[in-house]
A and B are shown apart, each in its own frame.
Chain A
Amino acid sequence: MQILNDTVALALEAFSGLGAQIYSARAVKSRRNEFNVDGGRFSLFRTTLDTALTLQAIKDHKRGVVSGNSFDEKAVRMAAADCLASAEAGQADPAWDMAESGGGTFEEGPYEPDMDKLFARTREMLEAIKKEYPKIMVEQLIVSHVQADSVYENSKGVRYTAKSGRYEADIMFSGHEGDKSSSFNGGGFRTASLEEPFLELGSLRKLLEDAQNQIHTTPAPGKGEGAVVFTPECLGSILYELAGNYVSDAVLIDGTSQWKDKLGQQVADPALTLRLAPGDERIVSGEKYTEEGYRSEDFALIEKGVLKQFLLSDYAARKTGHTRAPNTSYALVVEPGEKPLQDIIASIKKGLLVGRYSGGAAGANGEFSGVAKNAFMIEDGKVTFAVSETMIAGNLAGMLNQLIGISKETVQDGTSVLPWLAVNGITISGQ
């Protein structure tokens, strides 16, 4: 931590000497220890020691940002000068500023890794997959321990220090039988402990089981409007798309968001409550402070269907006259519903259960169309067969008002807490 304190102090002193008016420095030191498994076998043990320094300077309302990874005194001084020169070359905008209050010290998670145990848990997972899911081929598995220290300080006296450790994994796999195979699917988790077998974390078992059942596929019959049940994994990516389209900096600054005048209004079914909650106890190593120097706080983006907040940076908030988002994480927590998933599926006459969406970026109008991947047909309340070459199309905002239900089950993988969510009014095109 001392080198981080020294580097930040050096950068701030350099800025002060150069005549910057408002400035900040954030220094990070991290170590990653990682096992890679490729094609089902161990392939690599990787250790990376990384440093990062992010400098921001504002002078006469002009802002520059420089990032580097050298803590060498000469390099830090050069980076500060480069940052200020970038700012001076820019254009004045009174919306640039930095946090005036806040601060804190944080420490969490297993700081030092147990590599022998991490290896043992990884091998145990591979062996369990081989035994219990014999049709699965593991394309890639990456398990890591990440240790990180950071220090942030700005010229207004805001200062944070944080120290953390965590384990995480990402896996990609597909189901195989003879020459037939499923689409790839993947999952992962983040955890503070190695106590539980990895296969029991997140939704890995469900994903593996689904992949085995998705080897033999048929295109959905014909074309028509139907229901879609998004799995928690798919819901995360759909909500990410939604955020970019309706509540992010770019679309609110340029005024193309169709929700720009909807703050405080109903934008979704009252059953939907969506929070960004890095402080939730189910989120591992959640964001503690933002890169703008604010303490991260949980907040509701949509509460009972009402749009409560835009996902705006400090700059964009000033630009648009709204409030900034209280955190900049993507720790999604969607409140569960009352009904079990099975009951929701039982209420659907015709539709799809979609595990992954592969689609073009939705247009500014929210219209999307793409391929339903890792998907099953739902007919007369039952999941019947796996589909391929089937497209879905709809409107991101529109579908939130055509909610069928939200499951009471959720998947918690350490990065988000998400249920299954079913909507009507989606165009399903098969063959």
Chain B
Amino acid sequence: MIPDIAGKLRNHFAPGAHSELRAQRSLTRRVTMLQGNLTRNARTDSQGVSARVYQGGVYGFASQAELSGAAAKRALKTATDNARFLDGHAGYNLGALPDIASGAMAPQENFTDLPQKHYLDFLRPLDAYISGKYPDLASRSLVAYADSMEKQLITSDGYASHILAPRSYIYIFLNSQTDSGMPIEIFKTYGGSGTFDLRFKAPEDLYPEVDRLYEHLMKKREGVFAQAGKKTVILHGELAGMLAHEAVGHTVEADLVIGGSVAGPMLNEMVASPLVSMTDFAHSAFGGEAPLPVYVDDEGVLAEDAELIRNGRLTGYMVNRELGRHFSMRPQGNARAFAFNDEPLIRMRNTAVHPGLDKFEDMIASVEDGYYLISSNNGQADTTGEFMFGISLGYEIKNGRLGRAIFDTTISGIAFDMLKTVDRVSDRVNWSSSGFCGKKQPMPVGLGGPDLRCEVMIGGK
């Protein structure tokens, strides 16, 4: 664990200016095997301190790539100077931020940083299993990946904290080709929060997953192109989570609302079917721990759930301390920074559509002519709520039964229009957490949701 650096410097904060001091260490470990070749075998370790100071309506921020009290003092001084410079030049003359609850979180438990050999030794038998059992594959690729963030934070007001957040994943990519020679690919990610050794006990545990993935690949080999146009679809929870994050979540981040997002004029309006509720969960959801729990954010705000949509009505934005004041909303712990040299931005944590009452099987049976869309290889949305998701695995639904697999395609729509077409919501929730949300900085986020029946535009031939 990083030693106590920030805690000793509380008395160096300038009186009257809201100040934050953070010491952070971030680790990544990655092993990539492509066709049995070890193409990547890399470890990164990034550490340092940063300070942020609020003055007159603007922030000064500074960081130093060194974990020491002396570096923290230098960062604090530069951040204070920067706040003064910008305050002097911009001249907004805004007052201090509203008070927040203060206290201290108990430090979280330390974790074991595994040697690179551990990841290699796990991946080798898994790769051998795939190449041995499925020699007809055009290619295969495996990635073992683990990262962690350790943050020590003190603020002039708010909660002090010392958090450690490791997560671990395995990515499996399988490639084949159709009889006509068209290459096709399928992939899946496994894992979640926690260290690699606790998350993955033995390579054999993943063999059944590989077999299922291969089955999908063989069906996709015999696949068809999706028919373009507006279609009734069942979106798997992976895609519902993506929709919650990309197409709705970003539009209700208060900094993007200020920047002109479509959600600005929609607060308290119906934006979705009454069957749709959506929350950005802090650390617990649906009776369990959320995939990437956040207890205190990087402004020292004690984290709580941010309700976004209740029964179809837009009920709130995600704010930081400054924009909480602007919108008269309580900050709920959404201000998060990625690396030690990054300032906190408004970020989602674990954003999910709530489950409903429908059984998945009944939902499939309810579709006469449509698609069941399961996995995505890409997703984007903009502040108008117009979204696009690349679909890497899906099946036709004909007369209430799953049919042939479809080749890669794309779905698109306007989130708040599309959500109004949701007429069935399943009672099961799928979470994923392997990705990074991209804003100015990357950020690990959790996203989840149930299966949704709705209408979307599907691309294709």
Interface residues of A (CB under 8 A from B): 35, 38-39, 41-51, 63-70, 79, 82-83, 85-87, 89-91, 93, 115, 119, 123, 137-140, 142, 172, 174, 176, 179, 181-184, 223, 249-250, 253-256, 258, 315, 319, 358-361, 363-365, 367, 369-371, 373, 388-389, 391, 393, 427, 429, 431
Contact of A391 among B228, B380, B440 (CB under 8 A): B228
**Do B388 and A254 have beta carbons less than 8 Å apart?**
no
Pairs A-B, 10 closest by C-beta atoms: A360-B390, A139-B259, A364-B183, A39-B258, A254-B139, A369-B459, A89-B117, A86-B116, A137-B260, A45-B82
A431 contacts across to B, CB distance below 8 A: 230
B79 contacts across to A, CB distance below 8 A: 47
**Do A47 and B82 have beta carbons less than 8 Å apart?**
yes
A66-B43, A393-B460 given; 20 more Cβ-contact pairs under 8 Å: A41-B90, A42-B86, A45-B82, A45-B85, A48-B63, A49-B62, A64-B42, A67-B43, A86-B116, A86-B117, A90-B120, A115-B85, A119-B89, A142-B440, A174-B384, A183-B383, A253-B34, A255-B139, A358-B382, A363-B182
Interface residues of B (CB under 8 A from A): 34-35, 37-48, 50, 58-66, 78-79, 82-83, 85-86, 89-90, 92, 115-117, 120-121, 138-139, 141, 175, 182-185, 228-230, 255-256, 258-260, 262, 265, 341, 343, 376-378, 380, 382-384, 386, 388-392, 407-410, 412-414, 440, 457, 459-461
**Do A256 and B47 have beta carbons less than 8 Å apart?**
no
B410 contacts across to A, CB distance below 8 A: 359-360, 369-371, 391, 393
Number of A-B contacts (CB under 8 A): 247
Provided the pairs A46-B343, A361-B377 are in contact, do residues A367 and B115 lie with their beta carbons within 8 angstroms? no
A-B contact pairs, 9 of them (CB 8 A): A39-B255, A45-B58, A64-B41, A139-B383, A253-B39, A256-B183, A358-B382, A360-B378, A363-B183
Contact of B63 among A49, A119, A142 (CB under 8 A): A49
A47 contacts across to B, CB distance below 8 A: 61-63, 78-79, 82
Chain B proximity of A115: nearest CB distance (Å): 7
**Do B459 and A429 have beta carbons less than 8 Å apart?**
yes
**Do B407 and A367 have beta carbons less than 8 Å apart?**
yes
A44 contacts across to B, CB distance below 8 A: 58-61, 86, 343
How many angstroms from the CA of A315 to the CA of B50 in the assembled complex? 38
Q: Which residue of chain B lies nearest to A362 when distances are taken between CB atoms in the complex?
A: B408
Contact of B39 among A142, A181, A315 (CB under 8 A): A315
**Do B390 and A361 have beta carbons less than 8 Å apart?**
yes
A140 contacts across to B, CB distance below 8 A: 255, 259, 440
Chain A proximity of B430: nearest CB distance (Å): 19
**Do B389 and A360 have beta carbons less than 8 Å apart?**
yes
**Do A367 and B61 have beta carbons less than 8 Å apart?**
no
How many angstroms from the CA of A113 to the CA of B34 in the assembled complex? 44
How many angstroms from the CA of A173 to the CA of B181 in the assembled complex? 43
A367 contacts across to B, CB distance below 8 A: 407-408
How many angstroms from the CA of A41 to the CA of B409 in the assembled complex? 40
**Do B116 and A89 have beta carbons less than 8 Å apart?**
yes
B386 contacts across to A, CB distance below 8 A: 183, 358, 371, 373, 388-389
B391 contacts across to A, CB distance below 8 A: 360
How many angstroms from the CA of A140 to the CA of B120 in the assembled complex? 42
Provided the pairs A48-B341, A181-B383, A184-B383 are in contact, do residues A258 and B183 lie with their beta carbons within 8 angstroms? yes
Chain B proximity of A370: nearest CB distance (Å): 5
A68 contacts across to B, CB distance below 8 A: 44-46
How many angstroms from the CA of A174 to the CA of B260 in the assembled complex? 7
Chain B proximity of A428: nearest CB distance (Å): 10
**Do A359 and B390 have beta carbons less than 8 Å apart?**
yes
**Do A358 and B260 have beta carbons less than 8 Å apart?**
no
Provided the pairs A86-B116, A89-B120, A391-B459 are in contact, do residues A373 and B382 lie with their beta carbons within 8 angstroms? yes
